[in-house]
Amino acid sequence: MIRHLEQNEIDKAAWDAMLLRCPDRVWYAQSWVLDLCCPAWEALVDDDGTIMPLIWRRKFGIDYLYQPYGVQYQGVFSPGRTPRTDEAFFDAVPKRFRYWDIHLNAAMQVRAERGDRISTNTTQDMLLDKDASTLRAGYSKGHVRNLRKAGDDPPVVHRDVTVRDFVELFERTTGRRFGNIPEGGLLLMERMLSGALERGQCTILGIREQGELHAAACFMEWEGRSIFLKSANDEVGTARKAMFHITDQYITEHAGSGLLLDFAGSNTPSVARFNEGFGARSSVYLHLIRNRLPAPFKWLKR
């Protein structure tokens, strides 16, 4: 039986234990991450250990499900998914959530209902199960060329990048270029990075020139998967092909470990080419918008 739990009814230790039993588990679904994203998050829990976080907020008196900044996807996580699992959980979502705008994990199958809008997102990942030489042999010619451009003076990859260093670089580079950071998004990202570092779940690598940070990337590491969460690169970093060297360094350090390097997307062709150039494979996950709002709100959200 699927039970709906409000925030004060969720046993966080039991939640994390159930998540660990799910083959489709992912870093984003840990209770402490959910607490940061949505302190009032609720949950659906089945007797068999299948779980679904309900990440929600309220606007104009209406409660709705949404996708927090920095969280690639959510949805149903199950130790033994059946063809009926996802549909049963969707049916159990409390009716007060009349609008959903969420990304679903790649294991999920969704049957669109009338009025639903479903689109696809592309993500890339690669298994670091071979030695460094073999993995590098899978790089594209362009990536090999970019790595060789430094010649005998490749940029040094540093591990002493602080969360504040990274966020400040991100804000003035990636954040400014794309301009799609929601209110509170940078603070949430900073708290997620700090929390992950405290728990030994994060590595931040960067490249400095004369002490100044010009490029950096953060990797969230949990249960055999490393998520390339965010990166930042200024003009100097771009000229030095810094992100190629940072990613290559990370792959080299974890070669043969069996770690799954999850590049966390992207739909942007240039980013997808960057990821695939290291030998990553692409897969698809779904974006679901379900609108059951009353008029006139329904038409405002079309």
pLDDT in tens, 272-287: 999 999 999 999 999 9
Q: Are residue 59 and residue 187 in the same domain, yes or no?
A: no
Show Cβ contacts of residue 170 under 8 Å, excluding neighbours closer than 6 positions.
Answer: 186, 189, 216, 230, 232
- Compute, in degrees rounded to 10, the torsion defined by CA atoms 144, 264, 269, 148: -10
User: Is position 289 within any domain?
Assistant: no
Q: Are residue 162 and residue 247 in the same domain, yes or no?
A: yes
Q: Are residue 128 and residue 74 in the same domain, yes or no?
A: no
More confident: 114 or 287: 287
**Dihedrals phi, psi of 72, to nearest 5 degrees:** -70, -45
Q: Are residue 245 and residue 277 in the same domain, yes or no?
A: yes
For the segment 153-173, the average pLDDT, to the nearest whole number, is: 94
Three-class DSSP category at 37: helix
Q: How far apart are CA 246 and CA 234, in angstroms?
A: 14
pLDDT at 296: 57
Q: Are residue 106 and residue 217 in the same domain, yes or no?
A: no
pLDDT at 266: 77
Three-class DSSP category at 254: helix
Q: Are residue 10 and residue 86 in the same domain, yes or no?
A: yes
pLDDT in tens, 234-269: 999 999 999 999 999 999 999 999 999 999 977 888
Pick the most confident of 94-108, 168-182, 288-302: 94-108
Tokens representing residue 253 in the block: 């350090």
Q: Are residue 90 and residue 198 in the same domain, yes or no?
A: no
User: Is position 139 within any domain?
Assistant: yes
pLDDT at 301: 54
Q: Are residue 213 and residue 261 in the same domain, yes or no?
A: yes
Q: Are residue 75 and residue 162 in the same domain, yes or no?
A: no
Domain of residue 174 covers: 123-284
User: Is position 298 within any domain?
Assistant: no
User: Is position 60 within any domain?
Assistant: yes
pTM above 0.95, yes or no: no
Q: Are residue 129 and residue 271 in the same domain, yes or no?
A: yes
Structural domain count, the chain: 2
Q: Are residue 146 and residue 47 in the same domain, yes or no?
A: no
Answer left, alpha or beta for residue 199, where phi above 0 means left and psi between -120 and 50 means alpha: alpha
